Structure formats: structure tokens, C-alpha cells
Amino acid sequence: MKLYRYIILCLVALTAMGSVSAEELPLRSESSVQPDARYKLIRESYTINNDGTSDYQYRKEITLYRNRAITAYADKGETFILYNPAFETLTINECYTVMADGTKVVTPKAAFVDQLPSEAARCGRFNGLREMAIVHTALEPNSTIVLDYTIHRKGVFFNAKINMQKDCPVDRYELKISYPSSIKASVGYANPTKGDRVGANGLTAVRTDIPEAWNEPYLPEESSYTFYFYYMPDFKYTKTVIPEAKQLVEDLQEDNNQTQYAENICQWVMDNVNENDVPYERLNFQYATGRETFNSNCGTLMDKAILMADMLQMAGFDATVCDPMTLVKESLDKPFKYAVVYKVDGEEHEFMLRPIHDKMVMRTVYVTTTLPFEAIPMIGNPSPIYKFVVPNPESSNIYTMDPAKLTSVRKAPLAVEQIRETEHYTVYLPREMDLIKPINYKRKVKGVGEMQVSVTQKGKTMTIDRVLTIKEATVIDPITQQSQYQQFRTMLNEWNSSKQFYIKRHNK
């Protein structure tokens, strides 16, 4: 009888779906998944010369396969090269396209436009910077773009983070970093490979068959194809006086609260000075004085930090700017830190201009409270069934990973953040109300963390206990740690879905 009904149902559905085409394809197997494009070669070299100059050389040969790599939806058709003609000379060694039939089309002159980079807009100091926009022409499926250029620099400082992993596969990536052994440059990378040559004066590394970069949420910050090369001058903050800012500094004091006064100064600079995100390498690590930044109302984040310290000094605070490279010098994989440190009544405070994620800090949420019975009637009021939703704790630390974004087929590594979230709620149910179905989830994911959720009723008291603990930030590789990944997905689903449940109403 049931089978009969199901057949009727399917027939009804198929009739209604009359216009649906039969020409559907199953999802492609992994081997038939074609990349949009493939770099045949990327060759990159950084060279610091003995004469106080340096060179950056770059070559790419990329073959385009799919329309997406060619049309405006993708970014393969244009190359942008940022440089500073004040001390850098750009030379395009060659630029052409080899079409599918082998015809070589040299990129026309009109396709090279030397324009102001948007990062340098609206600030006279940066107006000399240039971005060479190259529009690659004659693109078609199976065509290959070849671009080779050199930047010769009358400067020696570099601040390079090189990620060999691109949004399409790379057949061969050659990286060469070379500097005189007399200088203290830093080279670092996560995944040493046989054949790498590392010494006191540089590194030579070749990687082949690099897979395309992932494009999934919750990825770890670095891939195993990331290299670092830093050689930067030391920074020392020197106080300057800005006569033009005197009145403003005075006006920012609202009362006698010195901490608030210092905060007001810092916040004023953050909010009211235009920011140009120009890489320091392009400025040869030259920073503006506070006065220059104030009078032009524009600058880099570091320029703003210096202005901030100057204004704090003018207000009477002992203030200085952190060397932004300190953290980098300690450990290559840590981000730059832009902070101003000042003292109020001898106590040191820090104003972070750009927050950095610090993995070492354990996020903790602890709530224990009584909740009012505020359930949502499913129909009318009174309703036979009500929905009860546990409110999110009032904390910015709550765990927000969305299980709907964790697919069963994920291949990308998953970065799991630390958390210790403990919630305990008591709800007094009205006389005619009862929990429909108690909840009791307990799950432990080996090497990751654990979760426990229970919703129970005793008499007219409903108790909700929710505990989620992930002791350490970790990365799950869904391919080698398939079981952990699937358990983690389930755990997250249960954690989220158990935030709502149903209550029934008796007629008694």
C-alpha cells in the first residue's frame, strides 16, 4: 500500500516537472575537473647587490583553459605592477600571448598604462607612485600569456611574503633570494624540501605541481607554500612637535580623566586622518613625520601611529611607537603590529591601530542565569506547541563557526579556533507546559575538543547546560583526518541545532 502511494506521488511529481530536461549530468569525477588556467612557470628572484641597489625579477607563463580565466569574471587578463619611480625602475623584458594555434601576439603599446595606484590616491606625498596596468590581449582558450619584468631599486630593503600557491595550479615555481652574507636578512618557510639550497646569503627553492589554493571558509592563515624574505631598517620613534595641532590636542581633553584623554587623541587620529595602504617596501621604509601627516591629512598606518605618538607627547603623555617589525623579527610567521604605547600615571597602555589575531588568548564565555519563559507560539496563543530559543550570551567571544559552511566533501584544511564556552540556564515552566523531548548530546573529537549539551526537565524546572571546549587552536586536514572532520561537523551541528527546541502545552 505504501509503495503504491509512493508510485502515485512520483508520477504526480514527474508530471508537474514536465519541463525539466533529461539532459542532466552527474557531478564530474575529480579527474575531469579542469582548472581555469595553469601556470606553466613562475620564476621570481630577489637580489640585494653589494652597491646598495637591489633587483626584483619576475616571469610568468600561464595557459588559460576555461572561459572563466579569460572573461571579466576572473583576473587572469590583467597584471598590475606597483613601483615607485623615485627609486625604482621598471623594465618590461617581454610581454606577449601565444594563441592556441601558436601565433605570437605582442602586447600592444596601448595595453600598458602607467597609472596612479588607488592605494596612493588623495595624498600628495604618494602621488609619485605608479602602477603599471598591463591588459593582456589575444586571449582565447588554450592561449598562453608570457610576461617577464625587472624592477631595479636604488634601495636594499625587502618585506616579502611569497605564497607560491595560486588560484590555479602551478607546474613549476622557481624562487631565488640572494644577498651579501654581510647583511642580516631573514628568510623563512614552513616546508623544507630536498633540493632547496639555503645559506648565509640566500635561498634557492623549486616547487613543482603546486595545487590550486583553497577557497573555503575557515582556512589556516598560511599554506605550506609560503616563504618570507625580510630585510628592514631598524625603527626608532623620534618625537616632533606639531604647532598646528596644539589647539586640537587641548580640545580633545574633556575632563580630568587622563586615560580617556589619551584614548580621545588616538581615536581622533584613527577616525579623522585619511589612510593610504601603501606597502612600506614601495616607500623604501621611509615614514612621514607627524607634522607632515597632520598637515596633509593622509598617511600610512605607520605615519598615523607616529602622529598619534606626537600628539600624545604634546598632551604630556610619555608615548612611543612600537617597532612594527619587532614581532616579525621574533618569529617570521607573525603579523606586523602597529601600536602606540603610552603611560598614564606610570601605567603602560597600548593602542592597537590594526588589531591582530592572537592565537594564544583563550576565548572564554561563562554564563549562569535564570531565563524567563519566553517561548514562541507555533500557532495562535495559546498554541499546542511552542518553540524555545536559547539566547546567545552577550559576548563577542561566542563560537560562530557556521556548520552550513562545512561540507561533507571538504578537502581544504579547517582551522579550528580555541574556545571555552559554558552556559547554564534555569527556566521555570508554566504549569501547563512541558519539554517535548529532552536533549542529551555528548561528543568528543580526538585532538580537537569536546561538547556536552543537555536540556532536561525536573518538575516544572527546565535546566539547560551547554559546554564547548576546544583547548588549542588546531588545523584538521579533512583528507588525512577524515573521521575527526566528520565528528567535528556533527559536534558543531548538535551544538547549533540544540539552541532551539519545542515545548508542548497541555489542555489539563
Partner 1 sequence: MRRSFLLLLLLSAFVGGLMAQQTDQVVNRYKGYHQLVRFDSTKVMMEESGLSYVDNHQRICMLDWTGCKNNNVITIDYDPLSAYVEFVEVKIHRADGTVETVYDADNGKVYDYVAPARLIYWGASQKMVEVGHLNPNDELEFRTRRKGYTYALLASGDDDARYIPPMKGHFYDIVPFWSKNPVMEKTYEVSVLTSKNLQYKVYNGELETTTSTEGDRTIYRFSKRDIMPIKSEPAMLANNDLECKLILTTAPDWESKSMWFYGVNEDYGSFNTIPAVTAKVKELLQEAKSEQDSISILTHWVADNIRYAGISMGEGEGYTLHNAEMNFTDRCGVCKDKAGMLVTMLRAAGFESYACMTMAHERIEDIPADQFNHSVCVVRHRNGKFELLDPTWVPNVRELWSSAEQQQGYLMGLPQGAKMMYTPVSPAEDHYIRIYDTCAVKRNGTIKGTLTITAEGQSDAAVRSIFRTRMSEWESNLEKEMLRIDPRAVIRKVTHTDNDRYWEQPVTITYEYEIPNYVLFSGDYMLFTPITGHDFFRRAMGHLNFNEDMTQREYGFADRCSRMVETHDYILLPQRYRLVFPSDKANNFAPSFRRAHMGKNASYNCVYQLDPKNFLMTFDQQVRLEQRVYEASDWEDFRQVVKMHKMAAHEVLLVK
**Cell numbers describing residue 319:** 608615548
- Taking the complex as a whole, the smallest distance from the CB of residue 373 to partner 1 amounts, in Å, to 18
Residue choice 89, 115, 191, 392 for contact with partner 1 (CB under 8 A): 115
Stretch 279-298 residues interacting with partner 1 (CB under 8 A): 294-298
Residue choice 31, 102, 110, 358 for contact with partner 1 (CB under 8 A): 110
Q: What are phi and psi of 131, to 5 degrees?
A: -125, 115
C-beta closer to partner 1: residue 178 or 490: 490
C-beta closer to partner 1: residue 252 or 321: 252
Dihedral sign of CA atoms 372, 378, 380, 385 in order: negative
408 binds partner 1 (CB under 8 A): yes
- Taking the complex as a whole, the smallest distance from the CB of residue 7 to partner 1 amounts, in Å, to 11
C-beta closer to partner 1: residue 170 or 232: 170
66 binds partner 1 (CB under 8 A): yes
Calpha distance 483→489 (Å, rounded): 10
Which residues lie below 8 Å from residue 320, measured CB to CB, with a gap of 6+? 237, 309, 340, 341, 342
359 binds partner 1 (CB under 8 A): no
Stretch 13-32 residues interacting with partner 1 (CB under 8 A): 13, 16-17, 19-21, 23-28
Calpha distance 425→370 (Å, rounded): 5
Calpha distance 239→318 (Å, rounded): 10
C-beta closer to partner 1: residue 139 or 340: 139
90 binds partner 1 (CB under 8 A): no
Radius of gyration for the chain, computed over Cα atoms and rounded to the nearest angstrom: 30
C-beta closer to partner 1: residue 149 or 495: 495
Grouping H, G, I as helix, E, B as strand and the rest as coil, residue 112 is strand
Alpha helix ranges (H) inside 297-437: 301-314, 326-330
Residue showing cell 593610504: 276
The count of C-alpha atoms lying within 13 angstroms of the C-alpha of 374, restricted to the half-sphere facing its C-beta, is 6
124 binds partner 1 (CB under 8 A): yes
What's 392's DSSP letter? Answer: P
- Taking the complex as a whole, the smallest distance from the CB of residue 24 to partner 1 amounts, in Å, to 4
Q: Quote the distance between the C-alpha of residue 326 and its chain's center.
A: 21
- Taking the complex as a whole, the smallest distance from the CB of residue 374 to partner 1 amounts, in Å, to 18
Residue choice 50, 71, 181, 400 for contact with partner 1 (CB under 8 A): 71
**Cell numbers describing residue 187:** 628568510
Stretch 186-245 residues interacting with partner 1 (CB under 8 A): 212, 215-216, 244
379 binds partner 1 (CB under 8 A): yes
Q: Which of 324, 128, 309 shows the shortest CA–CA distance to 232?
A: 324
473 binds partner 1 (CB under 8 A): no
C-beta closer to partner 1: residue 407 or 482: 407
State the number of binding residues for partner 1 (CB under 8 A): 93
106 binds partner 1 (CB under 8 A): no
The count of C-alpha atoms lying within 13 angstroms of the C-alpha of 508, restricted to the half-sphere facing its C-beta, is 7
Dihedral sign of CA atoms 242, 248, 250, 253 in order: negative
455 binds partner 1 (CB under 8 A): no
Residue choice 118, 257, 364, 368 for contact with partner 1 (CB under 8 A): 118
Stretch 297-356 residues interacting with partner 1 (CB under 8 A): 297-298
381 binds partner 1 (CB under 8 A): no
127 binds partner 1 (CB under 8 A): yes
Q: Which of 187, 196, 76, 96 shows the shortest CA–CA distance to 138?
A: 96
- Taking the complex as a whole, the smallest distance from the CB of residue 234 to partner 1 amounts, in Å, to 30
C-beta closer to partner 1: residue 4 or 458: 4
**Cell numbers describing residue 379:** 500557532
Residue showing cell 535546566: 463
Stretch 143-172 residues interacting with partner 1 (CB under 8 A): 167-168
Residue choice 100, 113, 356, 479 for contact with partner 1 (CB under 8 A): 113
137 binds partner 1 (CB under 8 A): yes
Calpha distance 165→210 (Å, rounded): 6
